[in-house]
Structures are given as structure tokens and as C-alpha cells.
Amino acid sequence: MTRVFATVLRRDLRLAARRRSDALLPVAFFVVAVSLFPLGIGPEPQTLRQIAPGIVWVCALLAAMLSLGAMYSGDLVDGSLDQMLLSGPTPGQASLAVAAAKSLAHWLVTGLPLTILAPLLGVLFGVAPAPIVALTASLLLGTPILSLLGGLGAALTLGVRSGGVLLLLLVLPLCIPTLIFGAGAVVAIDSGLSARGHFSLLGALLILTMLLAPLATAAALRIATE
Amino acid sequence: MPSSIRFFHFASPARFYALATRWSPALWVLAAVLAAAALYIGFFVAPTDATQGDAYRIIFIHVPAAWMSMVLYLAMALWAAIGWALNARLASMFARAIAPTGAMFTFLALWTGALWGRPTWGTWWVWDARLTSELILLFLYLGYLALVDAIDDTRRADRAGALLAVVGSVNVPIIYFSVKWWNTLHQGASITLSSAPTMAQSMLIAMLLMTLAFWAYAFAVVFKRTQAIVAERERHAQWLTTTRKLETA
Amino acid sequence: MATTSHGDLDAGARASRTLTVDGLAGRRGERILFHDFDLFVAPGELVWLRAANGYGKTTLLRILAGLALPEAGTIRWSPASGPATVYLAHANALKDDLTVLESVRYQSTLHGLEASEAAIADAIRRFGLQSRRHAPIRTLSQGQRRRVALTRLCLSDPQSTWLLDEPWDALDAEGVALVSTLLDEHAARRGNALFTSHVPPAIEGLRTVQFDALPAPA
């Protein structure tokens, strides 16, 4: 199964590299969306510093969701998904490898750039250095969770008419704990408190999601293609 | 071979259909009677609370509704999972029938929660841990309803819904825990909806009666809705079977 | 009721059947497209599944490939270790942004064919795509894309069963002849193929299965 995993991952990364502008759209959205808030709320430094963790986190969440619709739909339409499911001894095993590879690819192409860009946005909001580090660390742990849950949503809504928005409706509630612990960690550090609890919980969520989400996504893929 | 497959599919929902028709009137009556009793005790018999006055009485609807919303979600997930795992059509239909009622109870819990918060906090909404969790539960219900509605193929819709409901069930405790965490660890006082007053016996009885009334109501409504789903889905199979029998004759 | 005409098989061939299909029923969405479908395929046989549109030919191929579960019935492959099947759908499963060479390599790696660079180059050459091997798929015509998808046939296990959905679609005369030749070669080395085609294939010794399913429900 590692063969299928590696092949699909390599292919998806190569395809993303060929369409670099498409791949970076969510990142562009991230920056634009975050910038809207000071314009909407007012440039007062104190306020901005306070709302920064929540805003950056929510915008990262929404930006990560943007490229989910395309995770499987292209492959469904041109028949590539069927071939992927036939690449293993059973469709069940193959779909597991595919689900894991796709989520990882999504994180590398979308989640990781968002995480790297976050400190810059923190500076825009006048956030102090320690919380900026916490912000980056929390996103580093949290964005993989978003990619994994997003993959599940994408597989569930595969080929469905109103799939795009439906996908958001399904996935966003599931991401709420991640958002709470992630943004909460930054707020805690900003208030001078320890964020160890937050990070532990975030880490635990990541591990749990890494174990369970690919299985559920694989099941969803089989449901969608059977 | 084919006719026995058809029959097997048909018999179970058909038997249920007859059962539901028989039991429905009794369930409706039971629901009405229990609800009336609960409301009477809740509004007239239970004593006025020392701190909250008469405003607290809304809990006789709020708390049972909240319980129902959570239990029905789990029931929905359970039936959907059974339907998926065992390929049992009636179980899947049950799950679909439960969803709207569960969503309704969630909405009722939220609304009555707001009504409760108003006299106490002066605002219509409070980001209390339980209310926020109820709100997220409503999102989960809406997500399920939207998903099964968006997929045209009923079999795929049932299965996708089952998977989503199971995933949701696993997430509900996580969500509840994280919301509680969020509520208590943020700066500022822990915001909770007025805690329920220490319970006089009459209060407990009223809540219990209301819960039973909601159960009876839920059964009645879910049965009715399942009958409608059975009629819609099985009618095609019947028609097809009859047609094939004519062809082979 | 679906009927099939299985050709007369002698006892020897029956014993070494590659594929036995018994009472298969297939559905798409709500509709049962066919049921009571029986089929026996012996090594070296090429089977043309023939029916009009909408009768479930694609569904049958998908079920045989293992992508979909049958509504009823059984499928038995021999050897018992499981089917080595090559499923080529109507869709080419090609990505616009990959080159021909990359696509063929990807197919090969994905399906664990472990084809050497030389074998891949040979396959591309055989299908007349040598000059376009570094061209992105998006610049190819429909017929050329079909050829890229078909290269897999050259790289697959010689004993495998080919499940081909409209393999001649979009091909020119040369392409059509090439595929027919490949099928003949495959049959000669005791491989199997089941395929659909709207045009009668020009192949010797072809077995036709008239896939008379139910009249499509109104």
C-alpha cells in the first residue's frame, strides 16, 4: 500500500506544481480575508492584538476548506479515482492509501503555506513574539487535522450537486474543537499563561484524527464509487 | 431467486407499516396526556424558585428537549449504522425519519434556552457551554439532513448519512468537552446559564413526565415519517415485482 | 430477464475456466439493470458483450473489475488467488497536466506493473506516440489520449483478464487495427478479454454474448 500512497502523493504534488497559481489561491484568500477585519472593525492596536488569534485561525480554517472541493472531484470525472481504487488488492485497502495520500498532499500544498504565512499576519496585527510562535505552532498541529477532516468531507460529498458549500457545512462543525484549542493556545500565551494543556489536547486530536479520519474517508470513497 | 429477494425486502417494511398504523393513535394520545400532565405540574404545582422566580419553569421544556436532541442523534446514528452494516433497509429509513425530529428538538432546546436566559442575563443569547454545544449539535443535524437530501441515489445517501452520523457521534463528546474548556478557560467569569434550582420533587416529576411525553411524541412522529418513507421507496419495488411476474408468465 | 448465450464448452475447457459468473444481478442507483446473468469464460477467449445503450454493460464491467458490488449472484475467478484484471473504463483516467511519458509511468507504478523504462518506451512507440511523449495530455486529441490509456495493455501481466469499455472509441483505422492485434496476441497467450463495442470488432474467433437485459423500465 505504500506504493499506492507514494504514487498518488507524488502525482498530486506534481500536478499542484504545474498549477502553482491555482494551488496558492487559498493562501491569497487567507491574506485578503484576514486583512478585511481591521478594515471592518477599526485599526485600534489593542483590539487587533486581542482578536488576532481568533481571526487568523478562522481565516486559516476557511482558506484550508477552499481547496477541498477539488480534492477528489477532478479524479472522479476523468476516471482516475476508479483506477486508484483498483490499484490495491481490494478497493478498501487502496482507498485507505489514497485517502491518506490526498490529505497529506492537501496539507503540503495548502495547510503548510498557511502556517508559514501566519507569523507575518500576526505582525500585521501587532501580536507579540511569544504569541506569534504559539500561533505558528498551533497551526502546524491544527492544519493537518483540517486536511484530514476536509478529506472526509470531500469524499462524502463527492459528485454531489451542491457539493462545495455542503462540504463546508459538514466539515466546519467537526473542526470546532481544533479551532478552540488552537486559538485558545495563542490567547493563553498572550495572557502570560501556559498553553501546555491546549497543545497537549491539540496533539491528541491530531493523533486521533490521523488514526481515524483516513479510515472514515476510505469508507466514504467506497460509498461514493460503488 | 429474484422474487424471494423482493419479498424479503418488502416484508419487513410492510410489517412495520402495519405495526405503526396500529400503534399510532395510542402514541399520540399518550404524548398529549403526558405533556398536559407535565405542564400542569410544572406550571401550577411546582413551587416558585427563591432566586429565579417563575422564569425557571421553562426548564421543564428546555431540559427534556435537550436530552431528546442528544438521544435522538445517537439513535439516528445507531439505526443508520445498523442499516449500513447489515444492509437493512428499514433501519436506514428509521434513521432518516428520526433526523428532522431530532433537529426540531435541538431547535426547541435552543429557543427555550434563550427564553430562559432572557430574564436572567438580559440578553437573548448567552454563549453558555451547554447552549453552544446544542447549537453545534443543530449544525450536525442540518449537515446530515443536507447531505442525505443532496444525494439522489437513496442507497448511497443512506450510507453516506450513516457514516456522517457515526463520525458526528464520535465528535459530540469531543465537541462538548472542547466547548466546556473554551467556556471556562477564557478570561472572564465562567458564563453559565442559570443553573437549575435545587429540585423539589414536583419539579423532577414534571421534567420526567415531559421527557416521557417527548418520547411518545417522537415515536409517533418518527413512525409516521417512516411510513411515508416506506410508502415512497417500496412502492417502486412492488411495481417492479408485479411487472416482472407478468413478463415471465 | 437477462439471457446469455454461452458457447458450447467441452469438459476440458470448463475445468480450467478463468471466470465463472453465476446469477449475477447489477444495479445502478435505484434500478436493477440485469439479473440472472451467467457467463463462463475459458482461457484464451475474447468475449464481446453486446447490447444497446443503458443495459448495464458498463455496470457489469465495473462489477467484474471489483469496483462495485453485485446486487446478487457470484463471481469466481481462477486461479483462486484472485483476478489479475486490467480495467479500462470509457474515461481515460489521464490528467491534463501530465505528459504522455509521465502518465504511462504513473499508470505503471500505480498498478504495480514494474515496467522498465525500455518497456514503457516500447509501449509508447507501439501506439505511435513517440513524437508526443513529452507533450501534456491536454494537447492531445481524443484518439491520442485513448492510445495513451491503452498503452497499459502492453505493460500488463500477459495472463491477465482485460475488461475494456469501448476500447476502440475515438481511434482511427490504424488505432483500431492495433487494438485488434493486441487482443489477438493476448488470446494467443491464453489471456482473456471482455469488452464492449458499438461497432462489430474485426477479430477472428470472437465470442459474442448478447446481453439482453430487461427492457429498460419507463
Q: Give the pairing type, strands C19-28 and C72-77.
A: antiparallel
Give chain A's contact residues with B (Cβ, < 8 Å).
152, 156-157, 160-163, 166, 169-170, 172-174, 176-177, 180-181, 184, 187-188, 191, 201, 205, 212, 216, 219-220, 223-224, 226
Measured between beta carbons, which residues in chain B are less than 8 angstroms from residue A220?
160, 163
Task: Give dist(CA B67, CA A92) in Å, integer.
Answer: 37
Q: Give the pairing type, strands C161-165 and C31-41.
A: unpaired
Nearest by CB to residue A79, choosing from C82, C93, C102, is C93
Res B7: pLDDT: 43
Evaluate if residue A34 carries a pLDDT over 80: yes
Nearest CA in chain C to B153: C29
Reported confidence tier of residue B246, pLDDT bands at 50, 70, 90: very low
Q: Report the percent of chain C where pLDDT is more than 70.
A: 87
Q: Pseudo-torsion of CA A69, A70, A72, A75, nearest 10°?
A: 150
**Contacts of C among chains (3+ CB pairs under 8 A):** A, B
- Burial profile A40-69: b = 16 or more Cβ within 10 angstroms, e = fewer: eeeeeeeebbbebbbbbbbbbbbbbbbbbb
Res B20: pLDDT: 84
- Burial profile B164-173: b = 16 or more Cβ within 10 angstroms, e = fewer: bbbbbbebbe
The CA-atom distances, in angstroms, between C86 and each of A8, A103, B125 are 19, 27, 60
Q: Are C113 and C156 in contact (CB under 8 A)?
A: yes
Q: How many CB pairs below 8 A link A and B?
A: 74
Q: Are C13 and C48 in contact (CB under 8 A)?
A: no
**Average pLDDT of chain A to the nearest whole number:** 94
Does residue C146 lie within any of the structural domains? Answer: yes
Q: Cβ of A22 under 8 Å from any chain C Cβ?
A: no
**Average pLDDT of chain C to the nearest whole number:** 84
Q: Are A19 and C138 in contact (CB under 8 A)?
A: no
Query: Range with the lowest mean pLDDT among A211-215, B197-201, C131-135?
Result: B197-201
Q: What is the residue range of B43's domain?
A: 20-248
Higher pLDDT, B77 or B192: B77
At C175, which helix (H) or strand (E)? helix C173-188
Q: What is the residue range of A186's domain?
A: 2-225
What's the gap between Cα C138 and its chain centre?
24
Cell of C184: 489477438
Q: What share of chain A is helix, strand, coil (3-state, %, to 5)?
A: 85, 0, 15
**Once rounded to an integer, what is the mean pLDDT over residues C184-189?**
89
The HSE-up count of residue B158 (CA atoms within 13 Å, CB side) is: 26
Query: Range with the lowest mean pLDDT among A23-37, B17-31, B92-106?
Result: B17-31
Evaluate if residue A144 carries a pLDDT over 60: yes
What 3-state DSSP class applies to C215?
coil
Q: Are A145 and A65 in contact (CB under 8 A)?
A: no
Transcribe A208-219 into DSSP letters: HHHHHHHHHHHH
Does residue B6 lie within any of the structural domains? Answer: no
- Give me the number of domains chain C comprises: 1
Res B12: pLDDT: 75
**Once rounded to an integer, what is the mean pLDDT over residues B126-133?**
84
B24–chain A nearest CA distance, Å: 34
Please compute Rg for chain B using Cα positions. 22
C93-144 pLDDT tens trace:
999 999 999 999 999 999 988 889 999 999 999 999 999 999 999 999 999 9
Higher pLDDT, C176 or C11: C176
Q: Give the pairing type, strands C19-28 and C207-210.
A: unpaired
Does residue B203 lie within any of the structural domains? Answer: yes
Res B198: pLDDT: 63
User: 0.80 cut: is pTM over it?
Assistant: yes
**Average pLDDT of chain B to the nearest whole number:** 82
Measured between beta carbons, which residues in chain A are less than 8 angstroms from residue C92?
78-79
DSSP single-letter state for residue C136: B
Residues 91-150 of C with CB under 8 A from A: 91-95, 97-98, 102, 106-107, 109-112
What's the gap between Cα B63 and its chain centre?
14
A150–chain B nearest CA distance, Å: 13
Reported confidence tier of residue A221, pLDDT bands at 50, 70, 90: very high
Cis previous bond, C79, omega within 30: yes
User: Hey, which residues does C164 pair with through a beta bridge?
Assistant: C88, C195
Which residues contact residue A68 at a Cβ distance below 8 angstroms, ignoring those fewer than 6 apart? A106, A150, A151, A153, A154, A167, A171
Nearest CA in chain C to A88: C111
Reported confidence tier of residue B166, pLDDT bands at 50, 70, 90: very high
**Once rounded to an integer, what is the mean pLDDT over residues B53-82?**
89
Q: Pseudo-torsion of CA B158, B159, B161, B162, nearest 10°?
A: 110
Q: How many CB pairs below 8 A link B and C?
A: 22
Which residues contact residue C110 at a Cβ distance below 8 angstroms, ignoring those fewer than 6 apart? A3, A4, A7, A8, A83, A84, A87
Interchain pair B181, A162: CB under 8 A: no
Among A49, A152, A166, A180, the strongest candidate for a mutation testing the B interface, having the largest count of B CBs within 10 A, is: A180
Give chain B's contact residues with A (Cβ, < 8 Å).
136, 139-140, 142-143, 146-147, 150-151, 156, 159-160, 163-164, 167-168, 170-171, 174-175, 177-179, 181-182, 185-187
Evaluate if residue B3 carries a pLDDT over 70: no
Reported confidence tier of residue B126, pLDDT bands at 50, 70, 90: confident
Quickly tell me which residue has 486521533 as its cell: A208
Among A76, A83, A84, the strongest candidate for a mutation testing the C interface, having the largest count of C CBs within 10 A, is: A83
Q: What is the residue range of C120's domain?
A: 92-156
C66-97 pLDDT tens trace:
898 888 888 888 765 556 789 999 999 999 99
Does residue B14 lie within any of the structural domains? Answer: no
C182–chain A nearest CA distance, Å: 21
Q: How many CB atoms lie within 10 A of CB C120?
A: 20
Higher pLDDT, B52 or C24: C24
**Once rounded to an integer, what is the mean pLDDT over residues B5-28?**
73
Q: Are A110 and A23 in contact (CB under 8 A)?
A: yes
Q: Cβ of B201 under 8 Å from any chain C Cβ?
A: no
Evaluate if residue B191 carries a pLDDT over 60: no
Evaluate if residue B247 carries a pLDDT over 70: no
B20–chain A nearest CA distance, Å: 31
What's the CA angle centered on B162, arms B159 and B164, to 5 degrees?
110
Q: Are C145 and C95 in contact (CB under 8 A)?
A: no
Res B238: pLDDT: 60
Does residue B15 lie within any of the structural domains? Answer: no
Task: Give dist(CA B110, CA B169) in Å, integer.
Answer: 19
Interchain pair B1, C1: CB under 8 A: no
B191–chain C nearest CA distance, Å: 50
Evaluate if residue B11 carries a pLDDT over 60: no
User: Hey, which residues does C47 pair with through a beta bridge?
Assistant: C194, C207
| Residue A189 burial (C-beta neighbours within 10 Å; 0-12, 13-18, 19+) | buried
Task: Give dist(CA C51, CA A173) in Å, integer.
Answer: 48
**Once rounded to an integer, what is the mean pLDDT over residues B221-236?**
86
Question: What is the complex's ipTM, to 2 decimals?
Answer: 0.91
Res B122: pLDDT: 78
Q: Cβ of A76 under 8 Å from any chain C Cβ?
A: no
Q: Cβ of A225 under 8 Å from any chain C Cβ?
A: yes
Nearest by CB to residue B139, choosing from A166, A173, A188, is A173
Interchain pair A173, B160: CB under 8 A: no
Res A54: pLDDT: 94
What 3-state DSSP class applies to B83?
helix
Higher pLDDT, A57 or B114: A57
- Give me the number of domains chain B comprises: 1
Reported confidence tier of residue B235, pLDDT bands at 50, 70, 90: confident
At C77, which helix (H) or strand (E)? strand C72-77
- Give me the number of domains chain A comprises: 1
